[in-house]
Amino acid sequence: MPGTDLVLPGGGLVRASAAYHRSEDVPGRTWGLYMDPFWAPTWPSRMLPWENMALPVDFDEAVEAIDEAYKIISDGGMVEVGCQGGIGRTGTVIACWAIRDGIVPSEAVQWVRDTYILRAVETPIQEWWVEWYGAHVNGTTAPPRPRGSR
């Protein structure tokens, strides 16, 4: 559930949060990655344009931001990741970090649902994006984008 500290498969620590958990003082937080303008962080962080229930506005920027945060996690920092409800976009990013830690892209969404919250990665297009991210970072062919997706 949002407001939960999670351990990634490789041992890195992340905090999954929702906008209603916004706090200036989160013990151990090194950095934040946020996908909702409500956050307006005043601490070291990055805002990633990404509409609720949809895809990142800019795929390259999203990969860069997710990988920047993953580097901090890999170096021992604790990254807080959050969106409005802390489920869809937040779960999508956590699934991407799980891929970086060796989870097979086709299993990353289920890993997040088993580890964090059953409703994580809320939409089929977000599930597709996790697969796209995995193909992108692994240098393989991405699955075709679903029709009618935004």
Kindly report, residue by residue over 108-141, the tens digit of the pLDDT: 999 999 999 999 999 999 999 999 999 999 999 9
Residue 57 CA, chain-centre distance (Å), reads: 14
Q: What is the pLDDT of residues 57-108, one digit of tens each?
A: 999 999 999 999 999 999 999 999 999 999 999 999 999 999 999 999 999 9
Q: What is the span of the domain harbouring residue 19?
A: 4-138
Residue 20 has pLDDT above 90, yes or no: no
How far apart are alpha carbons 120 and 52 in whole angstroms? 13
Average pLDDT over residues 2-31: 92
The answer as to whether 147 is a domain residue is: no
Contact (CB, 8 A) for 28 and 60: no
Does the global pTM surpass 0.85? yes
Q: Please give the tally of structural domains in the chain.
A: 1
- Classify strands 13-18 and 4-7 as parallel, antiparallel or unpaired: antiparallel
Q: Is the pLDDT of residue 2 over 70?
A: no
| Per-residue pLDDT at 146 | 85
pLDDT at residue number 147: 78
Residue 56, SS3 per DSSP: strand
- DSSP conformation letters of 57-108: S-HHHHHHHHHHHHHHHHTT-EEEEEESSSSHHHHHHHHHHHHHTT--HHHH
Note whether residue 45 is domain-resident.
Answer: yes
Q: How much is the pLDDT for 149?
A: 61
What is the structure's pLDDT at 49?
96
Q: Is the pLDDT of residue 47 over 70?
A: yes
Mean pLDDT of 45-50: 96
Average pLDDT, the chain: 94
Q: Would you say residue 146 lies in a domain?
A: no
How would you label 35-67 residue by residue, b for 16+ Cβ within 10 Å and e otherwise? bbeebebeeebbebebeeeebbeeeeebbebbe
Q: What is the CATH number of the domain that holds 91?
A: 3.90.190.10
Question: Looking at the domain assignment, is residue 111 inside a domain?
Answer: yes
Separation between Cα atoms, residue 30 and residue 18, nearest integer Å: 17
In a domain, 143, yes or no: no
